[in-house]
Amino acid sequence: MMINLMAREAHKAIGTYFYFFPTFAQARKVLWDGMDKTGFKFIDHFPKELVKNKNESEMRIELKFGSAIQFVGTDNFDAIRGTNPIGTVWSEFAFQNPAAWDVVRPILKENGGWALFNTTPNGKNHAKRLWDMATANPSWFTQKLTIADTGVLTAADIDEERRSGMTEEMIQQEYYCSFDVGMLGSYYGAEMEQARMEGRITPLPFRMDVGVDVYFDLGISDETAMWFGQTDAEFYNMVNYYENNNKTFNHYAQVIDDYVTYKKGKLGHIYVPHDANKRDWVTGKTALHAFEEKFGKERVTRVEIGGLETGIQATRAVIPSVRFDSDTCAQGVNCLENYSREFNQITKSFNPKPKHDWASHGADSFRTFGVTYKSYQHKTIIGSSSRKDDDDYEKEYKAIIKEDYGDDL
């Protein structure tokens, strides 16, 4: 078991070790509070004679010989910034935020540390790309173990799963480690896989003669995500992606200024979601007004997203018209690939609404783009509140959306 391996390595080399799960809550449920088949808590496999201290709130074990092991969720990997791990385990990496690995990887490289990944496939997402890299790299060890290899379940057991309603796609993914099954429950998985096949996720040129548009999903304690895009002859080019949390409006305004200045470009239009007039980012001001004061009313538009399904349909429709910079938009692409519905273990089906996880914010900000681009084909759209009052603007906008999508608002 991975926890035994980590304990052994912690004894061999004194240092900090992290055990990563998709979420902090999952780490607590599966390992910190979890039990084996005999009812023995996993965490108690550490001999008491070796444990110096256990921190319940941080899920951290300090060992008497100097090492420390901590269980972490990649839903809040900022908590590990500035740390210095020498060994890591990544449980269910296909369902984790891959940005965490981007943070940890250079630290391990500098320390001569190690990383171990175990996962169930989830389509051809970041875990599949890691698998492909590792299998082609002789300095990595890879192994795929299906139930045919482990013997944990029999063919009769699998047949019973089928009779109980488990789909063949789910069986192939969960029991036979198939990467070829599409990302189950994914909203944009097929469209993004097509984008990769067509070479539309690739390094892109930046055009200094074309304005840079910015599309937001707003958050305060939650993530704020931003896509930066430019029109081009055949495609709309997404040239940058940025996300952060617990930052003020001034931070994101500075990100926009810095990016445009660094690229020696020019600012185009800023699109914020419909709730921008409700969220106070600074005392006494809404996000909409803060943006308008900073960048000018003529540059800022509040987008009426409409119903969730309307926005998702619009986004699916526009992805074939978009190219993504493979370097600067890598995390945004990960978000679009992994944005999905929650699987209900009781009903063996997917819930109708999206999971709220690390992928949500990048997908939500891209939906701001999707509705905008689909409805207006990226003409000089939507003006701003300086051109007409909000009521007239919203009536016009909803009329165009209704013409495109019907009554799903």
pLDDT of residue 183: 77
pLDDT of residue 169: 87
Convert the pLDDT of each residue in 331-368 to its tens digit: 999 999 999 998 776 666 777 889 889 999 999 999 99
Task: Determine contact, residues 188/354, Cβ cutoff 8 Å.
Answer: no
**What band does 327 get if pLDDT is binned at 50, 70 and 90?**
very high
pLDDT of residue 382: 37
Which domains does the chain carry?
A: 2-119 (3.40.50.300), 201-405 (3.30.420.280)
**What band does 95 get if pLDDT is binned at 50, 70 and 90?**
very high
Q: In this prediction, what percent of the chain has a pLDDT beyond 90?
A: 59
Write down the mean pLDDT value for the chain.
86
DSSP letter string, 86-141: EEEEEETGGGS-THHHHHHHHHHHHHT-EEEEE----SSSHHHHHHHHHHH-TTS-
Query: Would you tell me how many other CB atoms lie within 10 Å of the CB of residue 180?
Result: 12
**Please, is 334 exposed, middle or buried when counting C-beta atoms within 10 Å of its C-beta (0-12, 13-18, 19+)?**
buried
- Give the integer Cα–Cα distance in Å for 135 and 131: 6
pLDDT of residue 396: 46
Task: Determine contact, residues 52/67, Cβ cutoff 8 Å.
Answer: no
pLDDT of residue 249: 86
Average pLDDT for 143-149: 92
**What band does 283 get if pLDDT is binned at 50, 70 and 90?**
low
- Give the integer Cα–Cα distance in Å for 218 and 276: 7
Average pLDDT for 245-257: 90
Tell me the whole-structure pTM to 2 decimals: 0.76
Among 141-150, 159-168, 232-241, the minimum mean pLDDT is found in: 159-168
Residue 27 has pLDDT above 60, yes or no: yes
pLDDT of residue 44: 83
pLDDT of residue 375: 64
Per the model's pLDDT, the better-predicted residue between 37 and 222 turns out to be 37
Task: Determine contact, residues 190/198, Cβ cutoff 8 Å.
Answer: no
Residue 71 has pLDDT above 90, yes or no: yes
Average pLDDT for 232-254: 92
For 268, phi then psi, to 5°, come to -95, -110
Convert the pLDDT of each residue in 121-142 to its tens digit: 998 899 999 999 999 999 999 9
Nearest one of 211, 294, 213 to 249, comparing CA atoms = 294
Residues 6+ apart with CB under 8 A from 137: none
Residue 229 has pLDDT above 50, yes or no: yes
Which parts of 112-238 fold into alpha helices (H)?
Answer: 126-136, 147-150, 155-163, 168-176, 189-197
Average pLDDT for 174-181: 88
Average pLDDT for 37-59: 88
Which H helix or E strand runs over 370? Answer: helix 360-376
Residue 84 has pLDDT above 80, yes or no: yes
Residue 408 has pLDDT above 50, yes or no: no
Average pLDDT for 28-33: 92
Residue 384 has pLDDT above 50, yes or no: no
pLDDT of residue 400: 42
Residue 402 has pLDDT above 90, yes or no: no
